[in-house]
Structure 1
Amino acid sequence: MRWREWMLRVEAVIFAAAEPVGRETLARVVGKDCSIDLLIDDLQEELRDRPYEIVFVAGGWQHRTRSRFAVSIRASQAPTRGAGPALSDFEAMVLMAIAYFQPITRGDLSKIFGKEVSRDTIASLRNANFLASGPRSPTPGAPYTYVTTKHFLTAFGMETLRDLPDIEALEDAGLLSRHGVHTEQLATVVDDEVAE
């Protein structure tokens, strides 16, 4: 009976939370001696035939609608809680490049795409909470770099950046190229060595 109550408490917290719920938060609800993993396993089993599930993303658990119901939800045109901002194709490509090459400067992004990546594009991705400032670049002028956020992981259903698709497969398909950035970085290193 106590186990069932703990399962309900954990599910209620995960359901109500706007962000993925971590182990420490759940332990405050059921006690540190309780096995969170076993509770989650039992909840996942109980939800097996439901249109939603509990998944581990971005360092915590979150309720998610099963992907097979996405078409039905879109067809309903009902407003949803998790609907993120719509990204243009270019914004999505810039976000993908940042995810793979972070920390990366706006100048390096421009070299990847062969055209300037505007401050407005970066601002749009920052406003969507997909990007944050990274460390300053060690190149002349110390430009800002950009990195993805925990919200990025949550929005795209990833636990860590290791869940990104294999970059070599994307390069083979012609969807992404590391060549432009690496060539320029190598030229900068050579120029710095020549200047010394």
Structure 2
Amino acid sequence: MSEAEVVMDDYDDDAQHPASPMAFAELGRMVEAIIFASSEPVSERALAERLPVNTDLSAILEHLQKVYEGRGVHLVRVGAAWAFRTASDLGFLMSRETVQQRKLSRAAMEVLAIIAYHQPVTRAELEDIRGVETSKGTLDVLMETGWIKLRGRRRTPGRPVTYGTTDTFLDHFGLPEIRDLPGLEELRGAGLLSARIPSSFSVPVPNVDPDELTDDEEPLEDIDLEGLGLLAPRGD
């Protein structure tokens, strides 16, 4: 049996799904093609906009995930978006094709971890947690990687900027959602925490939607972005 026939057999279970104007298998092929052709993760909104009205997108994505289980590529969720990625156990095969990236400093990794677990967080809050000053250069390096972003401004005197992680961060570290960051036992098992840490020590569980501001944040405006050098000043 050819690979094409195997793939088609995976779709031959329309009887298990409610009848619809368009066959479930055909809708699955459409979703598969859209995601495959994109160089970036495709949001569920973008997928829904290209499919017939009332398409059960969740059921299709769940089915496609099962279709690709055990294969060389998997369909993975990246925040509210979806992408095809090489199976984690086959990553070594791609090592020769990987572009060498600049290694982050220990300080940058610490800052990234704090932002990931404590977001939304301001620079002052970062420094309070770390106990040392955080240079703008460290934050700039993390911004350049695309792993962190400016979320908004804190509703406090001085309106400090808040930082959070991006979908690129989730994609790079293989996390469907920010809530899937490793917990205490996982960090200890990986040797990233000492077995002798105090019993009172805890790892925060992020429960923030990276795309939504919290009650104590306000959105960044154009004038804010201009002041931060992220937007060219408007002409008079």
Q: Residue type matched to 1:104 in 2? A: V
Residue 42 of structure 2 aligns to a residue whose secondary structure is coil
Instruction: Tell me which amino acid in the other structure corresponds to 2:176.
Output: E
Contact 1:10/1:26 (8 A) holds in 2: yes
Identity of aligned residues (%): 34
Higher relative contact order (CA 8 A, sep 6+): 1
Name the CA distance, whole Å, in 2 between partners of 1:37 and 1:94: 35
The equivalent of 2:112 in structure 1 is: 95
TM-score by length of 2: 0.61
SS in 2 for 1:11: helix
Unaligned runs of 5+ in 2: 1-11, 13-22, 204-236
* Alpha-carbon distance between aligned partners in 1 of 2:69 and 2:186, rounded to the nearest angstrom: 32
Gaps in structure 1 of 5+ consecutive residues: 179-196
Which residue pairs with 1:50 in the alignment? 71
Structure 1 counterpart SS, 2:97: coil
- CA–CA distance in 1 between the matches of 2:67 and 2:156? 54
Equivalent residue of 1:73, what SS?
Answer: helix
Contact 1:84 1:128 in 2 (8 A): no
Give TM-score scaled by structure 1 length: 0.71
Shift of 1:157: 2.7
Change (3 A) 1:7 1:177: closer
1:32–1:110 distance in 2 versus 1, CA, 3 Å: same
Mapped to 1, the partners of 2:49 and 2:125 lie a distance apart of 44
State which of 108, 114, 121 in structure 2 corresponds to 1:104. Answer: 121
Structure with the bigger percentage of helix: 1
Q: Is the 8 A contact 2:48 2:55 kept in 1?
A: yes
Which runs of structure 2 are paired with 1:46-125 in the superposition (5 Å)? Answer: 46-74=67-95, 77-79=96-98, 86-125=103-142
Is 1:5 aligned with 2:26? yes
- Whether contact under 8 Å (2:76, 2:176) holds in the other structure is no
CA distance in structure 2 between the aligned counterparts of 1:24 and 1:103, rounded to whole angstroms:
24
Taking a change above 3 Å as real, the CA distance of residues 61 and 127 of structure 1, as seen in their structure-2 partners, is same
Please give the alpha-carbon distance, in whole angstroms, between the structure 2 residues aligned to 1:142 and 1:38: 43
- The change in CA–CA distance for 1:56 and 1:134 in structure 2 (over 3 A counts) is closer
